Amino acid sequence: MDKACLKKQLEDFFGRYQSGIDWSGLNLTPEVHVLPKGETLFRQGDCSTRVYFLNTGLVRYYSVSEEGKEYTQTLAKAPRIVGSTRAMTMGLPAQFSIEALQDSVAISFHWPSFFESMKNNLAFMQAYALFLTDIFISKEEKESMMVKHSATHRYVTFCSDFPELNTVLTKQQIASYLGITPVALSRIRARLNDSESPEKTF
């Protein structure tokens, strides 16, 4: 795997947020992670002080309760930064796992070194701040949708945003992502399949 090519993808990603980043002085050596479908980038409880960039593929964040119940928290498509802020910045155990839903490739950097590089490069820091803004907005929008919209609306939105996953994820995984039970998901699917609406694509 060509590290230079993978690192260039990271540079292009941040370049979309902020132009003028001087990459010449950033001597960061990435670690490459090749993730076959089903493999985890890290697991709940791991203490990883690394920041990850997903070059290709798609992953899900999921956590497991003390009772052993699994919850799908979010889904992330490449290219983007992924990881546990709690783990990488504080050295504390991650509160979720990241699993590849497709064959994926990621690179990672030791967070203290990555952060030092940003501190010495204003454009880089600005780009990272704009990326975090996008993350916060997405989180707010999902939380708002969970409160304001019906489960059917949330399911149709999921199918629109992640059409490749409707037959890949288990019923439990999709239901937990939508904040409903598998039984409720089955009822929604049955109603949509019986309807003549444009959303009938499953």
| pLDDT tens profile 115-141 | 988 888 999 999 999 999 999 998 888
Looking at residue 1, its pLDDT comes to 66
**What are the structural domain ranges in the chain?**
3-131, 149-194
| Cα–Cα distance measured from residue 171 to residue 153, given in angstroms and rounded to the nearest whole number | 17
Work out whether the CA dihedral 21, 111, 12, 62 comes out positive or negative: negative
Q: In terms of pLDDT, which residue wins out, 45 or 29?
A: 45
What's the CATH architecture for 3-131? Answer: Sandwich (2.60)
Work out whether the CA dihedral 49, 51, 57, 63 comes out positive or negative: positive
pTM for the predicted model, two decimal places:
0.85
Convert the pLDDT of each residue in 78-114 to its tens digit: 999 999 999 999 989 999 999 999 999 999 999 998 9
Tokens of 57: 């593929």
166: amino acid identity, one letter: N
Looking at residue 196, its pLDDT comes to 52
